[in-house]
Amino acid sequence: MAKRLTTLDIATRKGGVPLVTLTCYTAPMATILDSHVDILLVGDSLGMVIYGFDSTLPVTLDMMIAHGAAVMRGSKRALVVVDMPFGSYQAGKEQAFMACARILAETGAQAVKLEGGAEMAETIRFLVERGIPVMGHVGLMPQRVNALGGYRYQGRSDSEAASITHDAQAIEQAGVFSMVIEGVKEEVARHVTAQLRVPTIGIGASPACDGQVLVAEDMLGLSQGYIPGFVKHYAHLAQVVEQAAKTYAEEVRNRTFPSPEYCYPLKKNN
């Protein structure tokens, strides 16, 4: 059986072969993606991608646990990281510990990810010292959409860029084993990546990072609605699904499905 990657394997990939990460929310998708990626991220983006919410804010700890456990059941090799949902960790370090402990114990995943910079450093240190591996998330933090006034890219001014660097350094010192940098210009991503000993994983943050992450449904062409400009479509699966549904509907309506080979006793295995 393939050995699962560990947080240490990921931390020691700084500056090496770029780390490949995709979001993943279900067991079958985990099985398909597992051998191709280093990290399966059970992102709270699942709130928008599969539950149809307008933001990640309504996502609950129970949802993250259910999807984290499913991704663990479907995978064998990739490191599985589960996002801490909004409201489950910001109130204090004890609250964060209890929520993270539930995630690790009830999913079997090896690490959690949480959004935040210097203001979250004390909490991150508390978690790491108690055996919870933490991936950080700086730059554009979608759980702060209401405070930011939208999903605008970050680090536009020199002071914003300096504050992202300060955040990244603060959470590195607190003990994260890697961090996501979201929605920043290449010069900011390059500078932050050069300052850190832990790997950076970019999304909408240029090739200057130590790895990349995309929402799998976005890059597969399955997501509906707004798709950020930094997403490359590696497939157009929505069209494939639509065509299959159309053909099935036609065959049911004109009674060509089920044909004899799909009726018991089955004459064909498929």
Residues that bind ligand KIV (CB under 6 A): 23, 41, 43-45, 83, 137, 180, 182, 203, 213, 215
The residue sitting closest to ligand KIV, measured at its beta carbon, is 43
Q: 222 and 238 in contact (C-beta within 8 Å)?
A: yes
Name which of 23, 15, 22, 39 is nearest 208 in CA terms.
15
**What Cα–Cα distance (Å) separates residue 175 from each residue in 40, 133, 220?**
21, 8, 33
Pick the closer one to ligand KIV by CB: 48 or 196.
48
Pick the closer one to ligand KIV by CB: 180 or 208.
180
At 150, list the tokens. Answer: 């939208």
For the chain, the distance separating the N- and C-terminal CA atoms, rounded to the nearest angstrom, is 27
Pick the closer one to ligand KIV by CB: 56 or 123.
56
H/E segment holding residue 64:
helix 61-74
- Residues labelled catalytic: 182
What is the smallest separation between the CB atom of 248 and ligand KIV, expressed in angstroms?
Answer: 31
Burial 83-118 (b: 16+ CB within 10 A, else e): bbbbebbbeebeebbebbeebbebbebbbbbbbbbb
What is the smallest separation between the CB atom of 142 and ligand KIV, expressed in angstroms?
Answer: 7
- Non-local (6+) Cβ contacts of 133 within 8 A are 7, 110, 111, 112, 177
Pick the closer one to ligand KIV by CB: 226 or 264.
226
Pick the closer one to ligand KIV by CB: 132 or 179.
179
What is the smallest separation between the CB atom of 41 and ligand KIV, expressed in angstroms?
Answer: 6
Instruction: Say which residue the tokens 């930011």 belong to.
Output: 148
The CB density around residue 224, as the number of other CB atoms within 10 Å, is: 10
Alpha-carbon span 246 to 266, nearest angstrom: 25
